[in-house]
């Protein structure tokens, strides 16, 4: 019974990650870029908590792992890409910006799929999409101080880092 409750709680936190990612996208539609970035940060917190709780109580499952990846793609792939596209590239750098954010989403999906298939426990292969999405949320908050070209290059760099073979130790 406790195992079922713990799995349910961990999955609820995962779904809260999805809710915050979705709220970020909705905030972008209302041109509220600040809150969109903040909702992505809230999603990061939920993503960190769900895995810790599931591991702490031995309540990990294949369903939870797949659900986490689907939610992560929305919250840390689509949401930050849509945010920066609307905030930075819609008015200028339209086509290069569109290509960069679509590339980011694609690399995020590839990174998550590879993570689930390889099932490596000792380290991350490539930077996690959660970290990449969090960095894009921070870039959004600092966007007034950054040139669009720098933001474009950072998006491409983070995209490539997600699908790289760089080993990053798990904490």
Residue pair 37/137 in contact by the 8 Å Cβ criterion: yes
pLDDT in tens, 69-100: 999 999 999 999 999 999 999 988 889 999 99
Q: Could you tell me whether strands 123-125 and 167-169 are parallel, antiparallel, or unpaired per DSSP bridges? A: antiparallel
Structural domain count, the chain? 1
Q: Which residue has the higher pLDDT, 10 or 115?
A: 115
Q: 124 forms bridges with which residues in the sheet? A: 168
Supply the CATH number for residue 107's domain.
1.20.120.1760
pLDDT in tens, 110-157: 999 999 899 888 888 999 999 999 999 999 999 999 999 999 999 999
Instruction: Give the domain extent around 123.
Output: 2-169
The dihedrals phi and psi of 59, each to the nearest 5 degrees, come to: -110, 30
Nearest-10 crossing angle of helices 2-29, 62-72: 10
For residue 64, what pLDDT is reported? 83
**What is the spatial distance between Cα 28 and Cα 35, in angstroms, rounded to a whole number?**
8
> pTM higher than 0.75 for the full model?
yes
For residue 93, what pLDDT is reported? 86
For residue 54, what pLDDT is reported? 80
């Amino acid at each position: 019974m406790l195992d079922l409750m713990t799995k349910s709680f961990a999955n609820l936190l995962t779904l809260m990650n999805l809710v915050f990612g979705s709220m970020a996208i909705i905030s972008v539609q209302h041109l509220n870029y600040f809150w969109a970035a903040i909702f992505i940060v809230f999603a990061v917190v939920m993503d960190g908590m769900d895995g810790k709780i599931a591991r702490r109580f031995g309540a990990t499952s294949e369903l939870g792992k797949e659900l986490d990846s689907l939610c992560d793609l929305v919250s840390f792939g689509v949401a930050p890409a849509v945010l920066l596209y609307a905030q930075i590239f819609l008015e200028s750098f339209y086509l290069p910006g569109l290509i960069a954010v679509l590339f980011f989403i694609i690399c995020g999906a590839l990174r998550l799929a590879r993570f689930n298939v390889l099932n490596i426990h000792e380290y991350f292969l490539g930077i996690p999409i959660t970290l990449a999405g969090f960095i894009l949320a921070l870039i959004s908050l600092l966007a007034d101080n950054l040139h669009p070209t720098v933001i474009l290059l950072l998006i491409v760099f983070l995209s490539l880092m997600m699908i790289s073979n760089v080993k990053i130790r798990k904490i």
